Structure 1
Amino acid sequence: MGKSASVVRFAAVGDLHVTKASAGSLRAVFAQASEVADALLLCGDLTDYGTAEEAQVLADELAAVAVPIVAVLGNHDYESDLPHIVRETLVRGGVQVLDGEACEIEGVGIAGVKGFAGGFGRASLGSWGEPAIKQFVKEALSEAMKLESALAKLRTPRRIALLHYSPIAGTVAGEPVEIFAFLGSSRLEEPLIRYPVDAVFHGHAHRGTLESRTINGVPVFNVSKPLLLRSHPEQPPFRLFELPRDAPASIAAGDPRLTSAP
């Protein structure tokens, strides 16, 4: 497809859940994404158990990508208490791993954070009672603050938020209602209201909904690989998102050009 003078293309996917047995299984998809997009966005749960071996397999698979790669980690990447090793391995492979930081690709600012759980709207968990509950809510607030800090750093007219957990209930719909509180948090939506973006990408909800919107109309896309494969089995498992190069976030958020795959 090649680069376009009028749009910037992003290929986004999450929940790769790479294991040691994944070697050789993702290169073709990554290469295809690299051919049609200006950058590849990875929305967490990049590994299955967060081990150094899994991270190295992923880094080797990503060698097929010839465009910038931006990623956030997910809960699975923390399972072995080695998120720093996962991050370092990917960074050595040329991946920009964001955790409350921001970067710029083709004039588009990207703010990235893992996010956390806690529930949505009136069902959000409150900081009251046992210390363990207060610590849980504190973690959710901390991730929201990191997202806000990253968004505040951006000075580009076009902006994307990259998460693992969902900031809204709309894109986790389809999962059992009983586990909604563990799939994301409305606290992540609050920074997106104060600092509007063109689009939000997240994973984590394997049986959620492909897209919805924040209360201020920003499109949110669930790019969990299992969900993409189930929804569009005939297409490669990534979401292709096009942003006009000459439109500010307030305009592009209302009329992005979208497609699920090439």
Structure 2
Amino acid sequence: MVFKVIRYEVEEQVAVITLNRPDVMNALNAQMRAEILEAVKRAEDEARVIVLTGAGRAFCSGQDLGDGVSAAGLDLERVLRDEYEPMLKAIYESPLPVVSAVNGPAAGAGANIALAADVVIASEAASFIQAFTRIGLMPDAGGTYWLPRQVGFARAMGMALFADKITARQAADWGMIWEAIAEVDFDHHWRTRAAHLANGPTAAYRAVKRSLREGYSNDLSTQLELEAELQGSLGQSHDFREGVTAFLEKRAPKFEGR
């Protein structure tokens, strides 16, 4: 696929996927959804961490309501099932760590794509808006799944009903995102964070993702069994041996991601 509405770059094991329709605040059209899906899948073969970010002043303003159809003719059920679901699952289920570097406003489906990542780092210029009820809809693109888990039921309900703007600082205080960073430091900060993950123990990160997510539905016995299984596998890995050796030798480890 030739990317037309995103940029895809890999440098030092970091794949950066940049939503690139700045004239419409990176609104999501069918082409962009297909390109994000393709880029995430490609990154899994070419990198050790994935970063999603936006070009210009916004991260993503959500669904492009002018995407070739009128509001009355937009088959939202089909679009969500055929276009959003594969893209969101690819982000959420990626074996690599996925970081959303939210550079500006993230609204509607744009906010929920950001929240699908493992870690959300936001500029203090960013904001999150569940804007759906402003146009007579309900949150989608995974919003009803992520939000109660991240901020609790009461806050999720308030965000969905009132469609208030949540600042990056507020989102960090609520536990919705990992951290809010001063705008002047934002670009350097997320790149440093991504580099840390790209040089880390990729298999351990994959196990972290699986165990934390399955812990939502597992009982204690099942979760303890899962921990033992995953830790047992990691204990046989090169990266574990390297991590212990580096600790004993008082040096930085050189993880290979396997």
Taking structure 1 as the reference length, what is the TM-score of the superposition? 0.32
* Larger Rg computed on CA atoms: 2
Q: Structure with the greater relative contact order (CA < 8 A, sep ≥ 6): 1 or 2? A: 1
- The structure where strand makes up a greater share of residues is 1
